[in-house]
Homo-oligomer: A and B are copies of this chain.
């Protein structure tokens, strides 16, 4: 065993001889996102060996000076002695479990569902005072409780497991037959999950999780009354095996899905632990975890094979997993607590989108709506209460601030707006903090400004050499937005490669939207509202997004930012059984259109690889 100490994170880990440094990082609980999944290709996992030695050191992709300083790629370095390692701080290497900034807490007031739904939450608590039995009217304990709950909740079918049945005699008699019963919905059946003495109706906790490819967000809620208590988020630790789901699928086939499952489950458990600790909620009193996410993420969560999702004809194992005992996948909540993995539409349009449709109530509106969920995968939903069609395009993580050298999540210190005033490029940061990186909205702004200022051409290439240069920490030419001579790792810039990643992402999404529109012979002017979902939504500058061709040239007032609708919809389903059932209706009622079945997708994608589009006249005409 060798000791590896990381600073400035100040974390240590003892590992076996020969372990890769990247694995050591993960074991130390430090988040590190790679694009290639640890294959020595992307060069994102650079670190500096401060003390100790790496035998057979690979010097790629570093220059003389960097090699001298001790730079290595963690994925290509194996530990054969004690080490002290510096992780260049700032953008890509952070502690896991960063508490979510204030704006992630969706106030429940913003959810319009209060007007529509009246049913109970998926997990309900009811307090009942039973009549003690006599020799003339004595029901068995199990039937007494079961019948009592059935009649109170108006539920025809009720299940109770042996473990609960066993404790009934004691709990009933020790509490004068005054008890609170926790009832969970499992498909169409209600299950008595717990029984405890006295009236504990007021504490019915659940955790709602949006399992993003890049970010995992969790909200701690109480269903009585329905309130959000707190939120937390962290990077998805699976990123060590690739920034996109395909890389992770390949890794799961080579090793085991369990590897991916554990990383995700550990992330969720850690978020739950943090939320409970911070809010004095015992972990044991969490009765359910309600998860939305893309279909691959749900498969990883449940340890299901994804190998048929990434191969024609792209068949997932399930698009509607049954509610499970949360402990069955390793989630640490109440030991009889349930895990609801919400239903999705296909292998490439998951429950984050059915939840999104639910949150927006697209399935009930007469207007024609277009929902664009901008994440590492870009999903598009088009339709109304009469029909819904969906598709999905692989965008990459650039618009979430990953796969961009200075990219970061929308957190305090992230450059979120970039604009030009009389030729001078200016910016703002989230919370007005000193800049430490640039998030999705800032990146889109900056590309738009660079285009307007003629610093890049419509292909995204630098055209004015005088305004770009090299900078310490990057091996390529950059357009520098901010340079901090004191804290060089906090400089903010874009490289041509970064811009290419952005263009690829926006082209994939735009082409997907455009194909759907064409298939249905629609113009953008037919659409009443375009809904933009995604964590960065609230900060996005619409004009910039249109300017670079991520969004079509429509009047800005038809565009609405709806934030993290995956989480909102999941919360809705958790709070109202009726909404929960609607997800299944949305699943079965939404057609999936696979772009790989579209002959013209590649052509559309190629045309969108310019800013804003190859054919400007065509592009202007589509709305």
A: residues with CB less than 8 A from B are 133-136, 138-143, 156-157, 159-162, 165-166, 168-170, 173, 186-189, 302-305, 307-308, 312-322, 324, 328-329, 346-347, 594, 596-597
Contacts and interface: CB of A to CB of B under 8 A. Distances in A.
Contact of A140 (B169, B315, B596): B315
Report copies per complex: 2
B162 A307 contact: no
B157 A188 contact: yes
B169 A307 contact: yes
Shortest 5 CB-CB contacts between residues of A and residues of B: A142-B318, A135-B313, A140-B319, A140-B316, A138-B313
Contacts of A302: 162, 165
Select the residue from A139, A142, A302 with max chain B CB neighbours within 10 A: A142
6 contacts: A135-B314, A140-B347, A141-B315, A142-B320, A165-B322, A169-B317
B162 A313 contact: no
A416 B186 CA distance: 55
Nearest to A592: B138
A289 to B, nearest CB: 15
Contacts of A142: 317-321
B166 A313 contact: no
A485 B432 CA distance: 109
Nearest to A141: B317
Nearest to A341: B162
Contacts of A165: 302, 304, 317-318, 321-322
A133 B315 contact: yes
A324 to B, nearest CB: 6
A335 to B, nearest CB: 15
A303 B135 contact: no
Contacts of A134: 313
A596 B165 CA distance: 27
Contacts of A314: 135, 138
Contact of A304 (B157, B161, B166, B324): B166
Contact of A162 (B162, B189, B321): B321
Contacts of A307: 169
A170 B305 CA distance: 10
Contacts of A160: 322
Select the residue from A140, A305, A313 with max chain B CB neighbours within 10 A: A140
A597 to B, nearest CB: 5
Contacts of A166: 303-305, 317
A353 to B, nearest CB: 15
A328 B162 contact: yes
Contacts of A161: 322
A157 B315 contact: no
A615 B347 CA distance: 82
Given A162-B328, A165-B304, A307-B169, A187 B157 contact: yes
Contacts of A162: 302-303, 321-322, 324, 328-329
A33 to B, nearest CB: 29
Contacts of A328: 162
A161 B136 CA distance: 41
A338 to B, nearest CB: 13
Given A135-B312, A157-B187, A319 B143 contact: yes
A296 to B, nearest CB: 13
Contacts of A318: 140-143, 165, 168
A488 to B, nearest CB: 49
A140 B587 CA distance: 12
A226 to B, nearest CB: 27
Contacts of A597: 135-136
Nearest to A139: B315
A173 B170 CA distance: 50
Contacts of A141: 308, 315-318
Contacts of A347: 140
A135 B594 contact: yes
A133 B321 contact: no
Nearest to A144: B315
B135 A159 contact: no
